[in-house]
Amino acid sequence: MPNMANITVKKADGTTDIVYTALTPSAGDNIPAVWRQEDVSKPAGGRTVASLLTKWNGPKTARRSDFSFTMPVTYVDSTTGLTKVAHRIPVSINAVVPQDVPDATVAEAIAQAGNLFVAALIRSSVSSGFAPT
């Protein structure tokens, strides 16, 4: 089982690092591990959050992983000077991994799926909201 840690990723510019700080580790099934981008220029409710929840499927033949990411879109209210949330951009990735599949096959499937999700064509399509035609 992996240990909870901060996660560093690149911004869209491909150069700038963004650190997601480990807030709470999972305490077991159905309790998510949570990370947050600790951008001190925004209140806690306006910061980007990611979580990973894992659990068994119904018959306990597979492990389910639900990754959730939410980026708030904020603005400063000119009347009050407070930072407000105008929108939230949620992203979810789900996987169900059968327990009777060899580890190497599972690792390959997860690697390929993850690499596809960050491929330029997929990122562009998700960003625009339209599948390639």
pLDDT for 32 equals 97
Query: What's the predicted TM-score (pTM) here?
Result: 0.89
Sequence spans of domains, the chain: 7-100
CATH architecture of 7-100: 2-Layer Sandwich (3.30)
pLDDT for 79 equals 96
pLDDT for 10 equals 92
The mean pLDDT values, 10 residues at a time, for the chain of 133 residues are 92 93 96 95 92 96 97 95 95 96 96 93 92 90
> Which candidate, 19, 1, 22, places its Cα nearest to that of 10?
19
